[in-house]
Amino acid sequence: MSSPTTTDIGTALSNLITTIINAFTTLFTGFANWLSANADTIANIIGWVMLGVGVVGVVAYFGRRIYDLLRGFVRL
């Protein structure tokens, strides 16, 4: 059995690189198609997450004032 030539090695590397590029292209295309098909759901999820982050931020910033206000109403 003879050793592979430089051309054989170059061809093998070229095929490997092409295969890797095709695999990533397939993955990204599949993800883009999934994203496109589920855009409304994803937008709703992002919206709810942003709303939740905002509520947590407001409670974190005004938490003591909100607590004192609610405690005052409960005492009445």
Mean pLDDT for the stretch of residues 41-62: 96
The position carrying tokens 């059995």 is 1
pLDDT at 31 (0 to 100): 97
Q: Do 10 and 28 fall into the same domain? A: yes
Both 75 and 44 in one domain: the answer is yes
pTM beyond 0.85: no
Going by pLDDT thresholds of 50, 70 and 90, the confidence category of residue 69 is confident
d(CA 54, CA 75): 29
| Res 1: pLDDT | 67
- Is the pLDDT at 76 greater than 80, yes or no? no
What is the structure's pLDDT at 38? 97
Q: Which of 14, 18, 36, 15 shows the shortest CA–CA distance to 26? A: 18
Mean pLDDT of the chain: 93
Does 33 lie in the same domain as 53? no
Backbone phi, psi, residue 37, to 5°: -70, -25
Which domain covers residue 13, as residue numbers? Answer: 1-37
Q: Are 59 and 66 in contact (CB under 8 A)?
A: yes
Q: In terms of domains, do 27 and 58 share one?
A: no
